Chains A and B, each alone.
Chain A
Amino acid sequence: MTGSTVEVRDLGVRFGAVHALADLSFSLSANKICGLLGRNGSGKTTLLSVLAGYLRQNAGTATVDGDPVFENATATGKVCLVRGTGDASPPKVAVRDLLDYGKQLRPTWDADFAAELVERFELPLKCTPATLSHGKRSALGITIGLASRAPLTIFDESYLGLDAPSRYAFYDALLADVLAHPRTVIIATHLIEEVGALFEDVVIIDEGRVLLHEDADTLRAAGAAVTGEATLVDSFTMGLQVLGEKSLGRTKSAMVYGPLDDRRRAQAEEVGLELGPIALQDLFVHLTSGGSR
């Protein structure tokens, strides 16, 4: 099995007079974990709904491995979108039955992996989603998404209800499974700092358009985190574009946007300042806040 490619061209979705997506274009290569970032109402869920065939676009094209998605089983069969706690978990059907439906409906379903995840997330098989806590419903959605082994697996804020240990268990399971069974994964999230390390590709959308699409490493090199004694940091960052600052006692860390040349880097090293990659979250806030920070 291998992951799918995604191609979106001039995509437009309207809800009445509201343009949720407008002329949105980007493409994803196979077998990467892509972070889809955007503020509330930016169009993330709408975009992902189109990619999974949940919703028909008003304009443009969305293809998976070159096949148009909407009402095309060749394309939709390769996609599993877990939106929130998931659409494959109706409230009145027992967890055990839901997992059995996955087995019957998805050719790529891995029942053994599903059973392993059920154990890991301690899901009660006899219960229905209606009787589960939000966290357990999230875990069920994640279980269905991971066990689907769909060539394009999408998680849209699927783990917000999970506690921190369960979220980390999800990240571990996802990474291990993607390494063992390569596939394309899209993760839409607001927990950028927590999930950011997983991303190989980042797409940022804002007001229904692609604001930025970049390789995650390139993006992290688009600036630097400067850490050290506060006065030295202030002195070093003077004249640079600072996205955000944090202080702890006399130590300060400043996120600087824009590349640092060799002379600057040497200067930092000389005075004992540490340079690290920029935090994606600070960059995201900077890019989507319209200069409000």
Chain B
Amino acid sequence: MTTTDRWPTLRIMLTGHVAFALIIWLLFAVVSALVTAGFAIFGTVTTSIWYTVGTQVPRWFLLGLGVDAITTYLRLHIAHGRTRKDFLRQLGPYAVVLSVVSGLLGALGYLAEHGMYSIAGWPARLPEDMVFGRTTDFFAIFGLYSLVFLLWTVIGVLLGAAFVRNVLLGVVTIPLALLVILPGEMLLRVNGMPLIGVLSDRLAPSVLAGLGLSVAAVVVAGAAIWAISRDMPMRPKVA
């Protein structure tokens, strides 16, 4: 097998995006530490800051990376004489690895925060009724965050593909993307979107149902990505 046979686009995307994710997560950690310090100096630390900083923003960051996978790397892949089918085959492992690494960073963030709070004597409470009760439930947090980040990465790819194909299709795909992330939001119970917030509060499922719905959502999104991208025309760039 030659070098070029070993899923090169997967390696290229992961090298670029995972390295970028590490830098961004470091930034999240610094911001989280600064916010915590602010609360400690000017008020009282009562809840986990990482819950907000390490959950809200990273989801949008992963959505952006999903979009970038299509807008940057699909074009690059085709321009080097490869097929869409070959690219889409490598997208699944890409999304899983990126999400798992991000989930791990999220879980490690809680651990680090717990250590800091323990030393300072602050309570590391979570502001919502989460499926994991404590910030030290490392594996539960790791699994749940990986799943939520996977859903957000997948909708990034989906929206990227839809908008590249056709702006109108992109707009029409937004409701589908919201449905795809819904199971994860219901499990995680943290979001900044009104509609999703209402739904996730009212339809809070069991962990098992949430996982089942998440898998179904990934399958539906994957099918939609395939349908949109398999014969996507690559239009000339505007100079």
Contact = CB atoms under 8 A, between A and B. Distances in A.
Contacts of B9: 105
A177 B71 CA distance: 32
Interface residues of B, number: 30
A288 to B, nearest CB: 22
Contact of B86 (A49, A73, A80, A87): A73
A88 B79 contact: yes
Given A71-B84, A105-B9, A45 B79 contact: no
A56 B80 contact: no
A105 B83 contact: no
Contacts of B167: none
Interface string A62-104: 0000000011110011111101111110101100010001101
B234 to A, nearest CB: 4
A107 B4 contact: yes
Contacts, number: 96
A105 B8 CA distance: 6
Given A101-B76, A101-B80, A45 B236 contact: yes
A79 B83 CA distance: 12
B75 A77 contact: no
B4 A88 contact: no
B43 interface: no
B130 interface: no
A84 B80 contact: no
Contact of B83 (A72, A84, A150): A72
Interface in B196-228: none
B134 interface: no
Contact of A105 (B75, B82, B85, B230): B82
Contacts of A55: 233-234
Given A49-B234, A85-B237, A104 B8 contact: yes
A284 B82 CA distance: 35
Given A49-B234, A87-B237, A93-B72, A105 B78 contact: no
A54 interface: yes
A134 to B, nearest CB: 7
A88 B78 CA distance: 8
Nearest to B73: A90
B239 A104 contact: no
Interface string B81-106: 11111100000000000000000000
Contacts of B71: 90
B209 to A, nearest CB: 38
A92 B83 contact: no
A92 B75 CA distance: 13
Contacts of A93: 16, 72, 76
A88 B82 CA distance: 12
B137 interface: no
A76 B85 contact: no
B111 to A, nearest CB: 33
A84 B237 contact: yes
B83 A86 contact: no
A104 B71 CA distance: 19
Contact of B81 (A49, A78, A83, A104): A78
A101 B12 contact: yes
B231 A71 contact: yes
A182 interface: no
B85 A71 contact: yes
Contacts of B81: 52-53, 73, 76-80, 105-106, 148, 150
Given A76-B83, A90-B71, 13 more contacts: A53-B81, A54-B234, A55-B233, A70-B231, A73-B81, A79-B81, A80-B79, A81-B79, A87-B234, A101-B12, A101-B80, A106-B4, A148-B81
11 contacts: A55-B233, A71-B231, A73-B83, A77-B82, A84-B236, A88-B80, A90-B75, A101-B80, A105-B8, A105-B80, A134-B239
Which 3 A/B pairs are nearest by Cβ-Cβ distance? A105-B80, A88-B79, A87-B79
